């Protein structure tokens, strides 16, 4: 009789015609089937599965390329974008904010700050008959050349055996007289050991100045200083006769900024911080030797001649 076909237990039985009862061999027949020596190899992976990593890399490259393109467009747009226009209204608003939030120095303070590094304290010394050195007088000077050349009054240093000057940074030096101009009560000194960073004052002609223009006088009144006093120009081409009547000074600047003994030789300065004269004398008909509001200064044009420089 024909042999009944055997089926592997791993295979699913076909469905009967009725569609509800599987057709399977009996259990004994299934158990008698020998194992297969060469099992079928596993189904190889699909080519589509193998390409999935490449697809991921392609997607990443595409994203990076899009980002680079967007960045390039942004940079190009920034380069060609028109700069923001600043209007006069913007400037006015910025200035107003500064004025409302910042305390600005006064014109007098700015002028004093500009001249301050060039102002020096001048002290003259004499010797007694016993050989002792004593202070003879003091005044003020102004540096006009940064190598240590200083303008002061002749009467401040006249008759001195030794002259010492103290600079704005506190350093001191002896000084020598290198020129005098007696008719204008001027002396030119040269410091023997000036500071390396010494600043010379800026000077300007008196031409174009008018009575009423603001000025400051800087010096060491009664040895106190540097001190600043403010006032105005009172007039030009004034004359002054010394109390002893021994000398008459001409072509002087009159000013009303407070000046006292010790201010002699100091600078008379504009609001731009420029020296226009050397304070020389005060008018005081009393014996108090204090300021009454009438001071005199030698115009800087005359001082320039004492330096050996041509006038402005």
One of 124, 227, 229, 264 is an active-site residue; which one?
Answer: 264
C-alpha distances (whole Å) from 118 to each of 53, 166, 308 are 81, 11, 20
**Contact at 8 Å (CB) between 210 and 271?**
no
**Chain Cα centroid distance, residue 4:** 111
Told to judge if 205 belongs to the known catalytic residues of this protein, a careful annotator would answer no
Q: Provide φ and ψ at 128, rounded to 5°.
A: -80, 175
One of 118, 124, 155, 227 is an active-site residue; which one?
Answer: 155
One of 118, 185, 234, 256 is an active-site residue; which one?
Answer: 185
- In terms of Cα–Cα distance, which of 285, 284, 281 is closest to 298? 281
Determine what percent of the chain falls in helix, strand and coil, rounding each to the nearest 5: 25, 30, 40
Told to judge if 291 belongs to the known catalytic residues of this protein, a careful annotator would answer no
C-alpha distances (whole Å) from 106 to each of 98, 113, 220 are 15, 11, 22
Told to judge if 171 belongs to the known catalytic residues of this protein, a careful annotator would answer no
**Contact at 8 Å (CB) between 198 and 167?**
yes
Q: Provide φ and ψ at 163, rounded to 5°.
A: -125, 130
Rounded-to-integer distance, Cα 312 and Cα 73, Å: 63
* Cis amide leading into 204 (omega within 30): no
**Contact at 8 Å (CB) between 127 and 260?**
no
DSSP structure class, residue 266: P
User: Residue 78: which H helix or E strand, with range?
Assistant: helix 52-80
Looking at the annotation, which residues are catalytic?
Answer: 155, 185, 264
């Amino acid at each position: 009789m024909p042999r009944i076909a055997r089926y592997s237990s791993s295979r699913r039985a076909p469905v009967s015609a009725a569609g509800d009862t599987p057709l399977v061999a009996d259990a004994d027949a299934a158990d008698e089937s020998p194992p297969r020596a060469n099992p079928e190899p596993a189904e190889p992976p699909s080519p589509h599965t193998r390409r999935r990593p490449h697809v991921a890399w392609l997607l990443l490259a595409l994203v990076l390329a899009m980002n680079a393109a967007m960045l390039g467009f942004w940079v190009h747009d920034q380069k060609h974008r028109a700069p923001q226009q600043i209007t006069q209204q913007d400037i006015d608003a910025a200035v107003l904010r500064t004025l409302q939030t910042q305390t600005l120095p006064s014109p007098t303070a700015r002028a004093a700050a500009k001249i301050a590094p060039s102002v020096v304290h001048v002290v003259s010394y004499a010797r007694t008959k016993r050989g002792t050195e004593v202070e003879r007088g003091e005044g003020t000077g102004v540096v006009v050349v940064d190598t240590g050349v200083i303008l002061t009054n002749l009467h401040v240093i006249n008759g001195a055996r030794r002259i010492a000057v103290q600079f704005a940074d506190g350093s001191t030096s002896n000084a020598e007289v290198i020129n005098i101009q007696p008719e204008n009560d001027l002396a030119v000194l040269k410091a023997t050991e000036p500071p390396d960073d010494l600043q010379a004052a800026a000077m300007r002609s008196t031409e174009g100045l008018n009575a009423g223009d603001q000025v400051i006088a800087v010096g060491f009144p009664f040895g106190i200083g540097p001190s600043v006093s403010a006032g105005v120009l009172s007039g030009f081409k004034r004359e002054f006769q010394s109390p002893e009547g021994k000398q008459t000074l001409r072509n002087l600047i009159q000013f009303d900024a407070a000046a006292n003994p010790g201010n002699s030789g100091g600078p008379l300065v504009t609001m731009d911080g420029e020296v226009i004269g050397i304070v020389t004398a005060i008018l005081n008909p009393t014996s108090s030797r204090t300021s009454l509001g009438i001071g005199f200064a030698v115009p800087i044009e005359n001082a320039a001649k004492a330096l050996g420089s041509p006038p402005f």
